[in-house]
Amino acid sequence: MFGWTKKQALIDLTSRQVQYQNIDDGTLKQYLGGRGLNIKALYEMTAKETDPLGPDNPLIFAAGPLTGTLIPANGRYGVTAKSPLTGILGDGNAAGFWASELKYAGFDQLVIIGKSEEPVYLFVTDGKVEIRDAEQLWGKDIWETDIMIKEELQDDNVQVSAIGQAGENVVRYACIINNLKRAVGRCGMGAVMGSKRLKAIAVRGTQALKVAHPQEHQDVVDNMLKHIYNSPGYPVRSKLGTTVIVDVYMRNGTLPIQNAQVAYSDEIKQVTSDKIAHYTTGLKGCFACPIHCSRFTKVNDDAIYNDAYSEGPEFESILALGPRCGNYNLPSILKLNQLTNQFGLDSISTGGVIAFLMECYQRGLIKPDQVDNLELTWGNHETIVTLVRKIALREGCGEWLARGVRRLSQDIPGSEEFALHIKGLEPPEQEPRGMKAWGLGWAVSSRGADHLRAFPLAETTWTKDDAIRTFGQASIVDRLAYEGKDVLVKWSEEVSSLADSLTICKQALVALSIPLDMIAKALWTVTGWEVEADELLIIGERITNLERMYNARLGLGRADDRLPKRYEQPLKEGASQGEYFNIEKLLDGYYKARGWDVVSGIPTPEKLKELGLGFTLGA
């Protein structure tokens, strides 16, 4: 088969040995690449007792079969390990140019085990991996690291994926960033990398990537580009990116203001997409992507934050570091976006931790000396900037906050009711009381509170005709209805698993509704493997079920598919006023749709055997 390199490098940082192994065709057809290939390896290489910060926890990077080709928006890769933040499956995904370079260097997957005594980085190039000294890089931020590695290798075309000081200091929600901004954001993969004393992975490849059917490949690329350019969502996505989602949530009253105590405020108008556009200096696309949904921003009219400059921010960072913390000072949000990119911090978890701390302060549950005598009032942007630095460097109260909301709450009596996390992961910036499918997606997500595991955009972007044609239910597009959301989330999870494994960006595949039969044809033109759209969904289902079994082996089940109690209380303002979230209206239907046991929430033996996952039985 074409498309895949079929090569994996197993890098042992303890022994400094590298083994090169072939990946068999059967595994590639069952799991594709990226997220799918990674969960298969993680399941096989870890046990219940594996320490997330120990040398036995593998850190796994993988691209997909479409990566590095002409297929639009294929420039993503997945990173997987046991999470030091949640203790369960940890997984993240990033775009940019790193993944395609990995394919050109001759690899589908890198598996990193062990722990180095001294700081090191990896240099991956044309079929080999070198372990290099990184003493000079340790203590540097991600932007400095990128520059220094390129200078050392004397090649500006090297693609660098790195950690900043947050990862070095093993902040439990540290992330990995490539191309200065593209983040493997969630679950603390940067902390795993830091625990191994691995500063960066630099990749440079010159090998050609052949496709099975070149002419048909060009034809399907042309058809996909036409579909993207003609999509109703393309003009807004290509001009404003995800910042437009802030506007949508404002209209729907689904904002997470002040740690989700409030769902709407007129002050949100200070951070909407048009206000972001004021600071935008240019647009940027990832590898082979015509959408160019990212943008560069620079502040040049503010007395405090006049030096703020970065790529982004995405809507999650805007809301997490802004309104979730009661902050509507846009220059400060742009500065905070810059800092989280440089330090290598998950902006969602960072905002979640700070907002939780601010609510503890609001309720009188913490003393000033516990937070270095900082004024933790809502919207105090200078304090938020200070806290981000303290967290990344583990200075003062930053040592305390670096552990995440769940662990922090255990030290603060009376805070449990508003300690917002699911399975240990801080929630993203939706309001599930006004978006029922998203709430279910959060609850059952394999990595904890998360919007991208399901990504049920159909609930808010499809027409009734779309919903009836696909699901036979118009209620799919009623964001306040429970009916049909169980099957919507199941289907959306499988499409998302597929996207993360191929690897292709959901901003194209999902947000712009690229048909799955077009994806199947694209895969055929690349690999030569004839596969139907329905078969692709089965692969997505297999990956979702294996992730469920990974967590089940750790003791998780139905009792863990819960949202924090705050979301059981009715909203008091905005277009979703009066709405609350009742998970019990959805779980039984979701489990039945999945073929899982309704009592335990675990896949049945029959379902596992049907999907070729019988090896998980009794594990």
As a whole number of angstroms, the distance between CA 516 and CA 513 comes to: 9
CB 497 within 8 A of CB 37: no
As a whole number of angstroms, the distance between CA 457 and CA 480 comes to: 14
Phi and psi angles of residue 206, each rounded to the nearest 5 degrees, phi first = -130, 5
Phi and psi angles of residue 374, each rounded to the nearest 5 degrees, phi first = -80, 150
The tens digit of pLDDT for each residue in 453-476 reads 999 999 999 999 999 999 999 999
Closest CA to 306 of 271, 338, 340: 338
- Secondary structure string (H, E, C) spanning 357-382: HHHHHHCCCCCHHHHCCCCCCCCCHH
Which residue type, as a one-letter code, is found at position 219?
A: D
Longest dimension (CA), the chain: 68
Report the SS3 class of residue 90.
Answer: strand
Closest CA to 138 of 150, 126, 149: 149
The number of angstroms, rounded, from the C-alpha of 91 to the middle of its chain's C-alpha atoms is: 7
As a whole number of angstroms, the distance between CA 614 and CA 591 comes to: 19
The tens digit of pLDDT for each residue in 211-265 reads 999 999 999 999 999 999 999 999 999 999 999 999 999 999 999 999 999 999 9
Q: Which domains does the chain have, with CATH numbers?
A: 218-418 (1.10.569.10)
Strands, DSSP E only, in 348-450?
Answer: none
The tens digit of pLDDT for each residue in 381-425 reads 999 999 999 999 999 999 999 999 999 999 999 999 999 999 999
Residues composing the chain: 619
As a whole number of angstroms, the distance between CA 319 and CA 227 comes to: 31
pLDDT at residue 619 is higher than 70 = no
**60 pairs with which residues across the strands?**
80, 111
As a whole number of angstroms, the distance between CA 59 and CA 81 comes to: 5
The tens digit of pLDDT for each residue in 287-320 reads 999 999 999 999 999 999 999 999 999 999 999 9
Structure tokens at 600: 């335990």
Closest CA to 344 of 51, 123, 140: 140
Q: How confident is the model at residue 1 (pLDDT cuts 50, 70, 90)?
A: confident
The tens digit of pLDDT for each residue in 151-161 reads 999 999 999 99
User: Pairing state of beta strands 59-62 and 109-113?
Assistant: antiparallel
Q: What is the DSSP string of 135-187?
A: TTTTT--HHHHHHHHHHHHT-TT-EEEE--HHHHTT-TTB-EEETTTEEE-ST
